[in-house]
Chain A
Amino acid sequence: AQRVTQPEKLLSVFKGAPVELKCNYSYSGSPELFWYVQYSRQRLQLLLRHISRESIKGFTADLNKGETSFHLKKPFAQEEDSAMYYCALSGPGGFKTIFGAGTRLFVKA
């Protein structure tokens, strides 16, 4: 079955500490992976996608096909990173977009 799993509902770190939000997926094929973010009182928006291989706001994510993971990482968390983060995948042609349940990141001062 196709699935996106985010094992942590809540992740709390101190400002300046490294952060890693975990995402594992199950998909029979080659999906495209995304991280979406929702800041307080804002819309859900794209943070990054694996094919672009960019670093956005200091965040990076590497697709590990062997471990079927797409973990989101940032070496030094900032208070403004506090938000809800969703991992998502899409199949070929964009079909079957599936979101994980989300991880709430709280960065403490």
Chain B
Amino acid sequence: EAGVVQSPRYKIIEKKQPVAFWCNPISGHNTLYWYLQNLGQGPELLIRYENEEAVDDSQLPKDRFSAERLKGVDSTLKIQPAELGDSAVYLCASSRQGVDEQFFGPGTRLTVL
């Protein structure tokens, strides 16, 4: 099994440009998480989905970030417009249910110039 799949693995954009990240969780995992990880820090939760419902998006900067999980499987995280401070690794994780073990993807490293 491939595990959690994320694409792209790397993305370089100029500030003010839009960018989107895609995540395919492990089959059968109802819970999906998006995290932001800055250099030297631990992952910070941006949003958590239970199936297609966003049940915790309190840390998502809604002025420029958006996410969707339309059919309760794949998810997309978007930033528009990107700022220099958005340069980080964006991690996707999934689990069978909320308090279960989280399985992480390889992450997308975003560089905003």
* Contact surface of A with B, Cβ cutoff 8 Å: 4, 9, 32, 36, 43-46, 49, 86, 88, 90, 93-102
Contacts and interface: CB of A to CB of B under 8 A. Distances in A.
Contacts of B41: 101-102
Contact of A97 (B40, B45, B97, B107): B45
Interface of B: 3-4, 31, 33, 35, 40-45, 48, 55-56, 91, 93, 95, 97-107
A94 B3 contact: no
A46 B93 CA distance: 12
Contacts of B40: 9, 101-102
Contacts of A98: 45
Given A93-B98, A94-B97, A94-B99, A99 B104 contact: no
A94 B31 contact: yes
Contacts of A43: 3-4, 104-107
A102 B95 CA distance: 22
Given A43-B105, A44-B91, A101 B31 contact: no
Contacts of A99: 35, 42-44
8 contacts: A9-B40, A45-B103, A86-B42, A94-B48, A94-B97, A97-B45, A101-B42, A102-B42
